[in-house]
Amino acid sequence: MKKILLIIPAYNEEQNILKTYESITNYNAKFHSKYDVLVINDGSRDNTEKILTDHNIPHIRLIQNLGIGGAVQTGYIYALRNGYDVAVQFDGDGQHDVNYVKTIVDPILNGKADMVIGSRFINKDMDNFKSSQVRRLGIRLLSRVIAFKTKKKIYDTTSGFRAVNRDIMEFFAQHYPTEYPEPISTVEVLSRHMTVLELPVKMKAREHGKSSITLVKSIYYMINVIFSILIMKKVK
Amino acid sequence: MSIKLIISLIVFSLFWFFLILHFVRKKKISVRYSLFWLFSAFLILMVGLFPGILNGINRLFGFEVVSNLVVGMLITILMLITFILTIIVTKQKEQIRVLVQEVSLLESERKND
C-alpha cells in the first residue's frame, strides 16, 4: 500500500480547517482510502491551534510564522522523512475538493508524472471558479512567461493543488521558494527535466476569510514571480 | 581640497576608527564585520593625509571639484556595505527558516511520543 500525505498549510483558518479535515476523513471512510493528513499551522493568531488540538488533527505548529512557502516545505520535509510515496498540497480554506485527490495522485502512482497540478482552466466545462478578470489575466500572463522559459504550457499557474513523488519531495525539501512558491517551483521542476502533468479539477470559491493575495500585493506578486522565473538558470 | 576639509576628514576618520575599535572590544561587532568598516575609516584617513592621491584618481573620474570625489567615494563605500548586509540578511533568513522548521518538527514529534 502506497503512503499518501495531504499537506494542509493553515494560517488563521479557524473557520475552515475542521470542515476541510472532516471532508478528508469522511472521504477515507466512504472510499476506504488511506489519505494521511498533516496540517501545518503557520503561526496562526486565531483559534486554529486549539481546534487542531481539540479534534486530534495531526499537525505541526510552526513556532514562528514562515509564510506559505516555508510552511508547505515543512510538510514536504515531514513527508520525505516519514517515507511517504506521494505528497499532496491541499488548501485549508475549503477551495480544494478531496474527490479530486485521486485524479492527481494516480499518475504519480503509475509513474506517469513526477508532479501533477490540479487545474481549474484546462477543461473549460469544469471552469466554474469565480475569480476576477484581473486575476485571470495575471494567471494567463504567467502562463506565457513559463511557456517562454520552459517551452511547456501550464494553464493554472498559481494552483496550490498539487501532487508530487519522492524525487520532487527531496528537491522541495532542499529548495522551495519562500514567497509565491507555486509558479516558481513549477518552473524549477520543469527546468530539471522532471515531468509535470496538468489535469482538470473543480475548485470551490472560498467560504470564509479572504484570499491572502490582495490587489496591492498582486503587483508585487507579478514582478517578483516573473523576475524569479526569467533569471532562473537552466539546468543541464 | 581646502585645508578645512582635510582636517575634518582626518579628525572624523580617527574618531570613526576608535569608535569601531571600542565596539569590537566590547564584542558588540564581530571582528569579521568590523573589518570592512575599519577599511572605510582607513580610506578616509588616507585621503585626509595624502590628498594628492585624489587628484590622480579624479583624472579617471572627472569630477569638477575633488571634494565631490570624496562624497562619491563615501557613497560608494556605503552602497557596498549595505549590499553586503543584504546578502548577510538573506543568508540569516534562510538559517532562521531551517531552524524554525526543525524545532517545530522536533516539537511535534515530542508531543506525539
Mutate to test the interface with B, among A63, A72, A80, A174 (most CBs of B within 10 A): A63
Q: What residues in A contact B96, CB-CB < 8 Å?
A: 64
Parse chain B into domains and list their residue ranges.
Answer: 3-88
Measured distance CA(B46)–CA(A171) in Å, rounded: 50
Residue B89 CB contacts under 8 Å (≥ 6 apart), including other chains? none
Nearest CA to CA, how far is A63 from chain B (Å)? 6
pLDDT value at residue A14: 93
pLDDT value at residue A229: 92
Task: Decide if A66 and B101 are in contact by the 8 Å CB cutoff.
Answer: yes
Question: Does residue A40 contact residue A21 with C-beta atoms inside 8 Å?
Answer: no
Measured distance CA(A31)–CA(A33) in Å, rounded: 5
ipTM here: 0.87
CA end-to-end distance (rounded Å), chain B: 73
DSSP string for B17-65: HHHHHHHHHTTSS-HHHHHHHHHHHHHHHHHHH-THHHHHHHHHH--SS
Measured distance CA(A87)–CA(A176) in Å, rounded: 14
Nearest CA to CA, how far is A67 from chain B (Å)? 10
pLDDT value at residue A236: 67
Count Cβ atoms below 10 Å from residue A31 Cβ, excluding itself. Answer: 12
Express each pLDDT in B52-98 by its tens digit.
Answer: 888 888 888 888 888 888 888 889 988 998 999 999 999 999 999 99
Express each pLDDT in A57-82 by its tens digit.
Answer: 999 999 999 999 999 999 999 999 99
Q: Helix/strand/coil (H, E, C) string of A91-139?
A: CCCCCCCHHHHHHHHHHHHCCCCCEEEEECCCCHHHCCCCCCHHHHHHH
CA angle (A179, A180, A183) in 5-degree steps: 135
Measured distance CA(A234)–CA(A229) in Å, rounded: 11
- In this prediction, residue B50 has a pLDDT band, given cuts at 50, 70 and 90, of confident
Nearest CA to CA, how far is A132 from chain B (Å)? 33
Name the region of A225 (left: φ>0; alpha: ψ -120 to 50; beta: rest): alpha
* CB contacts < 8 A (A, B): 33
Q: What residues in A contact B101, CB-CB < 8 Å?
A: 62, 66, 70, 73-74, 77
Parse chain A into domains and list their residue ranges.
Answer: 4-230
Query: Which one, of A199, A206, A192, lies nearest residue A101 by Cα?
Result: A199
Q: Does the pLDDT value for residue B113 go beyond 80?
A: no
Name the region of A91 (left: φ>0; alpha: ψ -120 to 50; beta: rest): beta
Q: What residues in B contact A61, CB-CB < 8 Å?
A: 104, 107-108
CA A12, distance to chain mean position in Å, is 17
pLDDT value at residue B112: 77
A72 to A135, A138, A185, B15, B25: CA distances (angstroms)? 23, 23, 12, 50, 43
CA B74, distance to chain mean position in Å, is 10
Across chain B, mean pLDDT equals 89
CATH 1.10.3720.10 is the classification of domain A4-230: no
Residue type, A58: P
| Low-confidence residues of chain A: pLDDT under 70 | 123-132, 206-213, 236
Measured distance CA(A197)–CA(A181) in Å, rounded: 18
Task: Decide if A64 and B108 are in contact by the 8 Å CB cutoff.
Answer: no
Mutate to test the interface with A, among B90, B101, B103 (most CBs of A within 10 A): B101
Mutate to test the interface with B, among A7, A64, A172, A174 (most CBs of B within 10 A): A64
Count Cβ atoms below 10 Å from residue A96 Cβ, excluding itself. Answer: 26
Task: Decide if B104 and A61 are in contact by the 8 Å CB cutoff.
Answer: yes
Closest Cβ–Cβ partner in A59, A61, A66 for B97: A66
